[in-house]
A = this chain, B = another copy of it.
Amino acid sequence: MKRVMSDWYQKKICGVLLDITGVLYDSGPDGGTAIPGSIDAVKRLKASSLPVRFCTNETTTTRKCLVEKLSKVGFELKETEIFPPIPAICKILQQRNLRPYLIVTDDSRPDFAGIDQTNPNCVVIGDAESNFSYENLNKAFQLLMCLEKPVLFSLGKGKYYKHGGKLVLDAGPFMKALEFACDIQAEVVGKPEPAFFNTAVQDMGISADTCVMVGDDIVGDIGGAQNSGMRGVQVRTGKYRPEDENHPTVKPDGFVDNLAQAVDLILAGQSK
């Protein structure tokens, strides 16, 4: 039985935040595939009077390449509309004079080009895919154990995501591994941290209580959005699992079958 929840789109909406992977498209070995209806849904939303931003924990590639990848799949996004963790962590590293040992994908390294990585005094992990090797994790661990004040940043703390039709491990589990090994707590940069959501909301010039976040991750997207003062709506695409509808701690403001349905409801509410 699917629950009926209508309150989320009947209340005032002044802007929309969208997750990318699992909402717009599913990633995969050949650049991924658009989720049916999502290309048109993004077009309709952008053609409306509502501002739209894309809030993603995507760290496997640069923002530039992400735009190109999405363009090939059929989405026309601008770099300035996308809020991923790497630009945010680079700002933090510079402000705090930190030099990271990075566990990230090779493809995402260009976005760290301006960051001094010599003689590291902190560790940054993103979704590193096969760079989550025993060797690299040991290097990070040994560095953290040598630091008087060990600092570990995790770009998001997602448990898993869908890649090439399969669920695969995200950065979160490896963050937990290093936290346990070193008896430390990581600083998360990315969803579900409210500070991260708020950057995108502020960029739209709206207040959080008039913003709707649409995502496929019950904890990272929905729980995080709600903790930031927004409404959180979960799509039944991407990493969605039926168990999410009875999640022990997070109750979405609404469920929709996909982004197209979410946009239908949002725009119907606007036209009243």
With beta carbons under 8 angstroms apart, the residue of B134, B135, B174, B181 that contacts A172 is B181
For window 131-182 of A, CB contacts with B under 8 Å fall at 131-135, 137-138, 141-142, 145, 159-160, 166-170, 172-174, 176-182
In the complex, the answer to whether B130 meets A169 with C-beta atoms within 8 Å is no
A45 to B133, CA, bound (A): 41
Q: In the assembled complex, which residues on chain B have CB atoms less than 8 Å from the CB atom of A173?
A: 137, 141, 176-178, 180-181
Closest to A168 in B: B138
Given A129-B134, A132-B134, A169-B134, the answer on whether A160 and B141 have CB atoms closer than 8 Å is yes
A165 to B126, CA, bound (A): 29
Q: In the assembled complex, which residues on chain B have CB atoms less than 8 Å from the CB atom of A145?
A: 160, 167
In the complex, the answer to whether B141 meets A167 with C-beta atoms within 8 Å is yes
What are the interface flags for A176-217 relative to B under an 8 Å C-beta threshold, 1 for contact and 0 otherwise?
111111110000000000000000000000000000000000
A183 to B246, CA, bound (A): 14
A173 to B170, CA, bound (A): 15
Q: In the assembled complex, which residues on chain B have CB atoms less than 8 Å from the CB atom of A182?
A: 159
Closest to A130 in B: B134
Q: In the assembled complex, which residues on chain B have CB atoms less than 8 Å from the CB atom of A129?
A: 134
A177 to B159, CA, bound (A): 9
Q: In the assembled complex, which residues on chain B have CB atoms less than 8 Å from the CB atom of A178?
A: 173
Q: In the assembled complex, which residues on chain B have CB atoms less than 8 Å from the CB atom of A177?
A: 169, 173-174, 176-177
A173 to B131, CA, bound (A): 17
Q: In the assembled complex, which residues on chain B have CB atoms less than 8 Å from the CB atom of A176?
A: 173, 176-177, 179-180
Question: Which of A166, A168, A180 has the most chain B CB atoms closer than 10 A to its own CB?
Answer: A180
> What's the minimum C-beta distance from A22 to chain B, rounded to whole angstroms?
16
Closest to A166 in B: B142
Q: In the assembled complex, which residues on chain B have CB atoms less than 8 Å from the CB atom of A142?
A: 166-168
A222 to B224, CA, bound (A): 40
> What's the minimum C-beta distance from A174 to chain B, rounded to whole angstroms?
6
Q: In the assembled complex, which residues on chain B have CB atoms less than 8 Å from the CB atom of A166?
A: 138, 142
Given A167-B142, A168-B138, the answer on whether A160 and B181 have CB atoms closer than 8 Å is yes
Listed by A's residue number, 14 A-B pairs whose Cβ atoms lie within 8 Å are: A130-B135, A131-B134, A133-B133, A134-B169, A137-B169, A138-B166, A141-B160, A159-B182, A169-B181, A170-B181, A173-B178, A173-B180, A173-B181, A174-B177
Interface residues of A (CB under 8 A from B): 128-135, 137-138, 141-142, 145, 159-160, 166-170, 172-174, 176-183
**Pairs A-B, 3 closest by C-beta atoms:** A173-B177, A176-B180, A177-B177
